[in-house]
Structure 1
Amino acid sequence: MTLQEMAQTHAAAFTRSRPWTAEEFSDLLNNPFTQAIGDARCFALIKVIADEAELLTIATHPDHQRQGLARECMTAWHLAAQSQGATRAFLDVAADNHPAIALYQACHYSACGRRKAYYRRKNGPNVDAIVMECALDRP
């Protein structure tokens, strides 16, 4: 998967907020702790430092949604993080992103914090981020 493909998938998936550019993905992936998991249909960008992993973003192209790819990608990045010594995982999700929240809950995440007005919306008020965490003792 190329940086341009990542940016295209991200832009197709994130229509209510500003998607990330190929340059931003390049900058993130130049960090030795950051890696991409998946392909142009669905990918996750993660960071693993010591015993903690963070999901920076996950995106499924709309043409490939509702096929289980995001769940597979979540499992794959959890396993990759565990293989690097991570025992806990964190992520942020927009409070109005109900499909993503349902996915994360199905992957054993629970809310552990909130960031007020964290996500900017193109045509509306900013939305809180829910901070979620899970133990990586299961895929």
Structure 2
Amino acid sequence: MSSASDVLALRPAVLTDLDALEELEFDCFDSDRFSRRRWRYLLTQAHAVTLVLEDPQAAHDDERLQGYAMVLLRTHSRRALLHSLCVHPQVRRHGQALRLLAACEARAIAAGADTLWLDVHVDNHAALRLYQRCDYHRYSWEDEVYEDGGAAWRMEKRLAHAAI
């Protein structure tokens, strides 16, 4: 039997992924989901890189996307933002978040960034462990960042060190 990482393809998101991205967010997040309008903007106008994990063997379109990650890049800035990372519960614990994160770091480096930063909900212990394991460091606490009133840890990683 092949592992999830052998089956799932990593590729840039396209506008035709919009329905599947919305469905994936619904399956993964209880709140703080992107609206359809926001998704459309992020995929077509924002200075962003969105990568998806696709199951080419999925029987139905609504099962095709199994994860995504999005990096926002700013012109004239060496800092990039990991805006969102999402892996469907069915394929978690198979290294997919690590794959997405590594690919986002590589894209940020290629775009000239030397730092990748993110906010993570203080109650999202799995994400905190992932980012700490990947050498992200907490540098500030942000109150009431999320719709549920939850706080966030702001974390960052110096990518120049990771690239050496």
1:24 paired residue number: 38
Asked whether the 8 Å contact 2:113–2:159 carries over to 1, the reply is yes
2:72 paired residue number: 47
The list of structure 1 runs, each at least 4 consecutive aligned residues, that deviate by more than 4 angstroms after superposition, is none
When the two structures are aligned, how many residues end up with a matched partner?
134
Asked whether the 8 Å contact 2:49–2:107 carries over to 1, the reply is no
- Which has more helix, going by share of residues? 2
Alpha-carbon deviation of 1:120?
2.0
Find the structure with the greater CA-based Rg.
2
Asked whether the 8 Å contact 1:11–1:20 carries over to 2, the reply is no
Identical positions, percent: 25
2:104 paired residue number: 77
Q: Which ranges of structure 1 fall in alignment gaps of 5 or more residues?
A: none
Structure-1 separation of matches of 2:72 and 2:115: 12
2:9 paired residue number: none
Asked whether the 8 Å contact 1:90–1:134 carries over to 2, the reply is yes
Alignment of 1:97-116 (within 5 A): 97-116=124-143
Alpha-carbon deviation of 1:32?
4.2
2:93 paired residue number: 66
Please give the secondary structure, in 2, of the residue aligned with 1:134: strand
- Which has more strand, going by share of residues? 1
Name the stretch that deviates more: 67-76 or 35-44.
35-44
Q: Which has the higher contact order (CA 8 A, sep 6+)?
A: 1
Q: Which ranges of structure 2 fall in alignment gaps of 5 or more residues?
A: 1-12, 54-64
CA-to-aligned-CA distance 1:11-68 (integer Å, 9 cap, x gap): 11112x2322332211122334112012221110111123111011111111111111
Q: Could you tell me which amino acid in structure 1 is paired with residue 34 of structure 2?
A: W
Pairwise CA RMSD:
1.4
- Scaled by the length of structure 1, what TM-score is found? 0.89
